[in-house]
Structure 1
Amino acid sequence: MYITITPQKLGGAFSQSAGDFVNYLEKENQGKDPLDKEYFFNQYEDKIKPYQVIKEIDGNTAKLKLKEPKYYSITINPSQYELKHIHNNPEKLRAFVREAMKEYASSFHREINGKPINVDDIKYFAKLEHERTYKSNDIAIRENKPYSNQIAHLKNELRKVERGEVLGNALQIEKDIRKLVREAPYKIRGQVVEPGMKKEGSQSHIHIIVSRKDASNSYSLSPGSKYKASEVKMHGKMVKRGFERDRFIQNSEKAFDRLFQYNRNYVESYAAKKMLTKDPKQYFLSLGKLGINEKKIAFKMIRQTGLQLPVLHLPQNKVGFAYKQLKKIIEASVKASSIGY
């Protein structure tokens, strides 16, 4: 599961209204029968229309400054394993979102009228999407790029040959193109994966638009706060402040596991992914200490879903170490437990 929290984009050509974002989230509904459309929902209601979302979010911005975000976007991306476990069931995804938003509310170190923040203090609207397309920063696109560039160059040469602009062997060029297509590491139905192509398999994910202000339009609740859980003296009294992002993500994972009896593997946990970035040595030590069966599943996940990819974002001086550790653990485990590689 991958969860992100992003503030509203402001300035330049970006609107102060939530309208553009809401309309963007309607893209999968275009051309669909009303019965097949995905509607917005919140904690208690389903089938909320887009204009209602825009009205509610845009009307809940009291005393916010022009350059302050009026809303935040939360994206929840369940893994292929998680989606398979719940059979990609939309009702289960909606139930999970409602549990996750309880965790979102409780992650604020704030009080309203002397009471901790709860989900009824949060104004949000969520929407399921079922399609994803490849983007330029996806590993498939990056690793295909040398092949895609050569194929594009050869296709251009082929067109020139066919038009008689240059001399060349059209049959040989076509043969070279087919060879590059075969060698490209990522393909869908025989086509080299390129930006904009739809991803295969279950791709369900959730977009949530959550107001910066509480449901009463009185208090500012920023998940982007630079303050973690703390207290500060304001106007002569101690006031709680801050948002615990790690708590929100970890407790959302636990909510999914609890709701659907999902047995989360070490490598797919938020804590493990964070450790890989901050302390790769400890990450690989922990990976090596897993039980035989859990280790088998962990390596299968790493192989099939690219869970080792955070290594690519490590500081350069740590990348080599990380890959060496992973290779060492895999080799040791193959010998010890006959993991099929």
Structure 2
Amino acid sequence: MYISITKQHLTETFSQSSADYVAYLEKENEGKEPELQEHFFDQNNDRIAPEQVVKEIDKNTAKLKKREPKFYSLTINPSRRELRHINNDPKLLKQYVREVMKDYAASFYREKLVSVDSIKYYAKLEYERTFKGYDKQIKENQVYKAKIVKLENDIRMVLKGELKGNVKTLKKQIKKLSAQIPHRLNGKVITQGMKKPGLQTHIHIIVSRKDVTNKYSLSPGSKYKESEAVLNGQVVKRGFKRDYFIERAEKKFDATFNYNRNYVESYAAYKAFIQDPKFYFAHLLGLPTNERSAAFKMMGSAGLPVPKINIPTNKVEAALKVIKQFKKAVDIAKSSSSIGI
């Protein structure tokens, strides 16, 4: 499970309307019959028109300046293993989102507990992902494609007499490079915009910066995680407990769907890996045999480098090179929100 929280930018300021973002979330509905389209939903409604979403978000921005975000985007990205566990059931995912948003509201550090009824949000399921420029497959294929483009340009220059060379030889080099392009899908070279295979279901949530009364700011992007400050002589609580929110969301999935989470899938493991890779790796190697084998299998299926099982736990230093490779792979997978473990 990977959950991201981002604010929507437009050049040097923030977007003054949610219209473009809502339109972007409607992309999977293009060309589909009405009964096959996916609709926005909130805590109590299953079918909300995109025009209504834009209207509600855009009018809920009282006293916000141009350089302040008007809304935030949450993305909930279940892993393929999690999706398989619930049979990729959209009803169960909607149920889960509604539970997660209760924890989202409760994660604001305030004098009075914030309830989900104070949050103005709209969510939407998406079932597809496409390859982007930052994906490993695109980057590695691009190395070969760039060489091919250069050779094609050389051929044109040779034919014009601007460069000496053998066209036949250059074409052979192009053919060889084309055959060496490493990443393909169903025999076709993977390119940007191509749909990713397998289960890719995820949920986008657009959340207003202001509460439903349009009076109070509820910013999950606050630099204050959980703190208190003196304002007009009074102590006020402020901030958003991001770790609490993500941990609660993970536990909610496990409890709701009776999911047995492996260590490498946990948020605790991710934090340990970022803060203390040696501890993470030692813990990983110290797992019971069955759980450790399952962990390595999941890492392998996600395209991450898998350390040798016979590395002793007291020789963690020898595995640091693998750890660095693993971290790089995890960061790439996280940035594309397509990590499969």
* Distance in 2 of aligned mates of 1:308 and 1:98: 35
SS at match of 1:209: strand
Q: Which position in structure 2 is the counterpart of 1:300?
A: 297
* Distance in 2 of aligned mates of 1:89 and 1:180: 43
* Distance in 1 of aligned mates of 2:130 and 2:160: 34
Q: Which position in structure 1 is the counterpart of 2:222?
A: 225
Change (3 A) 1:85 1:17: same
SS at match of 1:116: coil
* Distance in 1 of aligned mates of 2:149 and 2:24: 31
Confirm or deny: 8 A CA contact 2:8 2:15 kept in the other structure: no
Change (3 A) 1:161 1:40: farther
Bigger shift: 223-232 or 146-155? 146-155
* Distance in 2 of aligned mates of 1:155 and 1:95: 54
Q: Which position in structure 2 is the counterpart of 1:75?
A: 75
* Distance in 2 of aligned mates of 1:77 and 1:151: 36
* Distance in 1 of aligned mates of 2:154 and 2:257: 55
SS at match of 2:245: helix
Q: Which position in structure 2 is the counterpart of 1:314?
A: none
Change (3 A) 1:14 1:162: farther
Change (3 A) 1:235 1:86: same
Q: How many residues align?
A: 315
Does residue 1:132 correspond to 2:125, yes or no? no
- Counterparts in 2 of 1:192-211, with a 5 A limit? 192-211=189-208
Q: Deviations over 1:178-229 (max 9, x none)?
A: 5444433321011222222111111111111000111111110010111121
* Distance in 1 of aligned mates of 2:110 and 2:318: 43
Does residue 1:323 correspond to 2:321, yes or no? yes
Confirm or deny: 8 A CA contact 2:41 2:124 kept in the other structure: yes
Change (3 A) 1:261 1:27: same
Q: CA RMSD in A?
A: 2.7
Shift of 1:15: 3.6
Bigger shift: 23-32 or 229-238? 229-238
- The match for 2:266 among 269, 272, 278 is 269
Q: Which position in structure 2 is the counterpart of 1:315?
A: none
Confirm or deny: 8 A CA contact 2:144 2:178 kept in the other structure: yes
Q: Deviations over 1:243-266 (max 9, x none)?
A: 011111111111111111111111
Confirm or deny: 8 A CA contact 1:284 1:326 kept in the other structure: no
Confirm or deny: 8 A CA contact 1:5 1:75 kept in the other structure: yes
The residue type equivalent to 1:25 in the other structure is L
Confirm or deny: 8 A CA contact 2:221 2:240 kept in the other structure: yes
* Distance in 1 of aligned mates of 2:305 and 2:57: 38
Q: Which position in structure 2 is the counterpart of 1:242?
A: 239
* Distance in 2 of aligned mates of 1:140 and 1:263: 31
Does residue 1:25 correspond to 2:22, yes or no? no
* Distance in 1 of aligned mates of 2:320 and 2:184: 28
* Distance in 2 of aligned mates of 1:308 and 1:40: 38
* Distance in 1 of aligned mates of 2:265 and 2:161: 55
TM-score, scaled relative to structure 1: 0.83
Bigger shift: 144-153 or 213-222? 144-153
Q: Which position in structure 2 is the counterpart of 1:120?
A: 117
Change (3 A) 1:88 1:157: farther
* Distance in 2 of aligned mates of 1:134 and 1:321: 31
Structure 1 runs of 4+ off > 6 angstroms? 158-167
Runs of 5+ consecutive residues of structure 2 not aligned to the other structure: 307-316, 326-341
Q: Which position in structure 2 is the counterpart of 1:216?
A: 213
* Distance in 2 of aligned mates of 1:246 and 1:273: 11
Q: Deviations over 1:79-119 (max 9, x none)?
A: 111111112111111111111111111111114xxx30011
Confirm or deny: 8 A CA contact 1:11 1:67 kept in the other structure: no
- The match for 1:141 among 138, 156, 160 is 138
Runs of 5+ consecutive residues of structure 1 not aligned to the other structure: 310-318, 328-341
Q: Deviations over 1:266-289 (max 9, x none)?
A: 111122122212211111011011
Shift of 1:173: 5.7
Change (3 A) 1:35 1:181: same
Q: Deviations over 1:139-179 (max 9, x none)?
A: 22223232232344445567788999986465x66665554
